[in-house]
Structure formats: C-alpha cells, structure tokens
Structure 1
C-alpha cells in the first residue's frame, strides 16, 4: 500500500519557512494597498476588492509576532478559499510547491511558540530547511482570528425571527 501524499505551497516570513495545503490556495497576487477597517486587530490589514468580492487581508508576520514587518517587491497575497470563504494572507515571498508523503511529516513539538502548536499540522524537511506546515483552515476559522465568526449562514437575513 502506498503512502498518502499531500502538496504544500511553501512561503517565507522573515527567515522562517512555512507551508500550507495547496488545496486551500485559490491564487497568488502581488501585494497591493488594502483598505483599512477601524477597530480590527493589527494583523488584519483591512480588505481588498477581488473581482467584486470584498475579502479580509491578514498579515501573517503580524499574526505570528515576527519582527521587521516590511513590504517589498516580493511581498505577495495568497488568496485562500477555506470552507467557501475567501481570505488573503500577506507573506514575504512564495517559494515552491512541495509534495510530502504522510510519513515525512513529523508531529508538532510540545512547546509554546509564536504560532501556537494547535495550528501546526507538522514539521518536514525540504532542501535541508525545516518547514512548518500550518493547518491554515484551523487558524483562519479560529475564534481568535475574528474573521468569520460574524458571517452568517444566512447572509441576506431571510430567516431572521
């Protein structure tokens, strides 16, 4: 029986190397100015109009409390489709798409870190670099992100009582 394989889009945040499930990625765009929304956490940069759909933009460097947040020509927004909801994440640069077999992914360590281990799917090695595989669905749907908890399943309010 062959091992199950999964593809991950890898990206950089500062000197750290991360990966997310490629199946959540809708597209990759150059970073453009976003429209700020008042009273949002600092890691939610604002919103962007993506072909008529307004989507929240999360700066992953700010979310993970990484230093020296700066935007340059390599900065990109990865547009994600998570549970039929669209969100963008800002990363320093995209690296590659990597295929891992399940047995190549180690469980997350048991320690406190900038990225809580409950959002880490596992760790893997690629090109002699340690890659942190993020459970992006769990992170984006978490109550602490405050992204989707106000979105109703009934957006028109048709079933309001």
Structure 2
C-alpha cells in the first residue's frame, strides 16, 4: 500500500491532520483520508475475527468494518463513552471505521516540525508511527493508516466488511 499524501518529507510544506485521543495521548491522521466522524452506534460483532475488529456497522446502506484503535495499537482496552467516536476513513476506496476515545480538531502540521518516529514503546504500536511533532499542548503522534492496516490485516478487514 502507498503512504498517505501528507507531504511531510518536503521542506516548507504543511498538511492537515485530524487529531484524536487514545489513552491520554494525542494522535493525528491525514485529513484527506477521513470521510466523517460518527457518534458511537450499534456495532454488530463478527465471530472468528481478531479482537481488534469490533464488528460491522451499517452506514447509509454500506457495511463498514469497525476497528478498535486501542486494541490494534496494543493499548489497554476501555469501554466507549459519550466522547468516543468512530472515525470513518478511506483506504484503497473502501471505508473502515476506527474507534477512538475522542476526536479533537483539524490542525495544520508543518513538515519541518515532524521528527522521525522514536525507537521506544512496544513494536506493536511503534510500527504505526510516521513521526512526532510537539505543540503547546504536548506531543502529537502521526499515524500511518496504511501501516495500521498492514496487508494481512487489510485483507481480513476487506473480507469482513
């Protein structure tokens, strides 16, 4: 799969990202891949799938697979609450939902402010990181949706949804 078109490797450019929280940390994904943000809705479980696949939802007649971002990234599970959201993203012309703790805002991030992914944390979560940027509120971790849905997992998601 190709990397998102964020232009983070070109000096002097900036891109828009949607920020969200997971386990008290701030993460960001390329706004061009976000289709919409939904409040929690009923998720129908699908038997025999990995624990990070919560199930499927009906989105205006389309079946969309929903992934728990916490479980996928090796973070401790948490029950959804009023702030939880399902971020509908587009990967290879297919919609996928990602459950996050809360969605914050759309921000501009300058390519010059992005540092390479640190070699810390567990391998499960660090392999999804594109880079890190520092803001007045703290660190924001840029996530690669393509890495989050590596080829094996992506084929499984396609077969579910």
Q: Same fold (TM over 0.5)?
A: yes
TM-score (norm. length: structure 2): 0.85
Q: 1:123-134 residue pairs with structure 2 within 5 A?
A: 123-134=132-143
> After TM superposition, where is structure 1 displaced by more than 6 Å over at least 4 residues in a row?
none
Q: CA deviation at 1:82?
A: 1.2
Are 1:20 and 2:15 an aligned pair?
Answer: no
Q: CA deviation at 1:132?
A: 0.8
Quote the residue 1:86 is aligned against.
95
User: Partners in 1 of 2:60 and 2:137 — Cα distance?
Assistant: 39
When the two chains are superposed, the root-mean-square deviation of aligned CA atoms in Å is: 2.0
Q: CA deviation at 1:71?
A: 1.0
Quote the residue 2:62 is aligned against.
53
Q: Which of these residues, 35, 39, 46, is aligned with residue 37 of structure 1?
A: 46
User: Partners in 2 of 1:68 and 1:137 — Cα distance?
Assistant: 22
TM-score (norm. length: structure 1): 0.85
Q: CA deviation at 1:115?
A: 4.2
Q: CA deviation at 1:65?
A: 2.4
CA distances 1:79-123 after superposition (whole Å, capped 9, x unpaired):
001110110000010011110111110000123426443321100
List runs of 5+ in structure 2 lacking aligned partners: 1-9
List runs of 5+ in structure 1 lacking aligned partners: 152-161
CA distances 1:49-102 after superposition (whole Å, capped 9, x unpaired):
111110100011111222241111111100001110110000010011110111
Count of aligned positions: 150
Contact 1:119–1:134 (8 Å) recurs in 2: yes
Specify the structure having the higher radius of gyration (Cα): 1
Contact 2:74–2:125 (8 Å) recurs in 1: no
